[in-house]
Structure 1
Amino acid sequence: MPYEPPPELAGLSLAQIAELVHERKLPPLDKWSPMETGDSEMRIAADGRWYHQDGEIRRPAMVRAFASLLMRDAEGQHWLVTPTQKLSIAVDDAALVAIDVRHDGDALAFRLNTDDLVIAGPEHPIRVDGDPDTPAVYIGVRHGIEARLNRSTWAQLAEIALAGDGTSVSSQGVSFPIVAS
């Protein structure tokens, strides 16, 4: 069955986005205990491009498949996990990139460079790093991995904040500061 990406966020209601998130079947990484560990010889660049042995992985389906197997441990190390192997992967910044955001009522839905959809809230917090001149804004995705908001998505989020108190946004009842201190 060929892969069909979800429609653009602007054309979806929050209920439709939530349904698409619910329908996405992801591997149960937290239930796997692989015995073999090693190095994947892979790297994710700060701009979201994936590399294997310094050659760029250009097939979106491959990136999407690898991203579904990605987790980050408490020490910050990223891993590709299968039932039999746990392979380290170098990540320059965040593993994923948020490329769009939609504000609908009390929810912020993000589209990632892997076509994943994430609704910010208690399970998917927004956090700010950096400083006021060069802030870096991230959203928690799953299994400890994060997506960094690209410039246009950050600008969209700033517009949403400016419509409110100017320094924070809220989603699913949780308020998130978006200004670095």
Structure 2
Amino acid sequence: MTQESTQDRPAPGALERLAAALGPESQGRRGPPPVERWNPAYCGEIPMRIAADGTWHYNGSPIGRPALVRLFASILRRDPDGRIVLVTPVERVGIEVEDAPFLAVEMAVEGEGEDRAIAFRTNVDDVVALDAEHTLRFARDRDGGFKPYLHVRHGLWALVTRALVYDLVELCETREEDGTAWFGLAAGGRFHRIMPAADLS
């Protein structure tokens, strides 16, 4: 985590100040705030961390209020430099993310093949349908297996939890594309490549 000087850090009470900056209009809003249109000055980092298991921490302690976590999750954004920030109309602050900012914890499936529809629910109650904008990507884990990630919004991804990975694998198939046999998943109008079939153990 990048160290900032004391004068670059927001003053104590950052959580309350960020929540207040959203204003009463944030209550009852449908969908996340328009953070892509907000470009306030960067105000340094705050001691907030999203752990690999999806738990949000502030000043070293878990944030125990789910509503507060959902509020801050709604104003997350990945900036062009790769930094993940909380952004309001008046300020932008950096936070630490150990893996992905969200977890995909529930999945619903309808249909088969490329016409198959798959929707996920995240740990902060976003519901995301797998499609051309909300795609899957895959990374290797330490054991040589794969970890699927779902694009949620604004360059932010949700790690698909291990229980759902097993369900995804049941839907996978091997398909030849561009002269190579790929292991992947057909859904949302496309074939999502996971790995070359030759790499399957």
Moved more, 102-111 or 171-180: 171-180
Name the counterpart of 1:147. Answer: 158
Name the counterpart of 2:47. Answer: 41
Name the counterpart of 1:109. Answer: 119
Name the counterpart of 2:31. Answer: 25
Q: Is residue 107–residue 170 contact of structure 1 (8 Å, CA) maintained in 2?
A: no
Name the counterpart of 2:188. Answer: 172
- Aligned residue among 128, 137, 151 for 1:127: 137
CA distance in 1, matches of 2:138, 2:31: 29
Question: What amino acid is aligned across from residue 171 of structure 1 in structure 2?
Answer: A
Name the counterpart of 2:149. Answer: 138
- Structure 1 runs of 4+ aligned residues shifted over 4 Å read none
Tell me how far 1:81 sits from its aligned partner: 0.6
Q: Is residue 100–residue 152 contact of structure 1 (8 Å, CA) maintained in 2?
A: no
Tell me how far 1:36 sits from its aligned partner: 4.4
The TM-score, its normalising length taken from structure 2, stands at: 0.72
Name the counterpart of 1:118. Answer: 128
Secondary structure, aligned partner of 1:140: strand
Name the counterpart of 2:77. Answer: 71
Question: What amino acid is aligned across from residue 147 of structure 2 in structure 1?
Answer: A
CA distance in 1, matches of 2:191, 2:80: 24
Question: What amino acid is aligned across from residue 80 of structure 2 in structure 1?
Answer: A
CA RMSD of aligned residues (A): 2.1
Question: What amino acid is aligned across from residue 155 of structure 2 in structure 1?
Answer: G
Moved more, 147-156 or 100-109: 100-109
Name the counterpart of 1:93. Answer: 99
Question: What amino acid is aligned across from residue 25 of structure 1 in structure 2?
Answer: G
Q: Is residue 125–residue 139 contact of structure 1 (8 Å, CA) maintained in 2?
A: yes
Name the counterpart of 1:8. Answer: none
Q: How many residues align?
A: 158
Q: Is residue 101–residue 153 contact of structure 1 (8 Å, CA) maintained in 2?
A: yes
Name the counterpart of 1:6. Answer: none
CA distance in 2, matches of 1:54, 1:179: 38
Name the counterpart of 1:82. Answer: 88
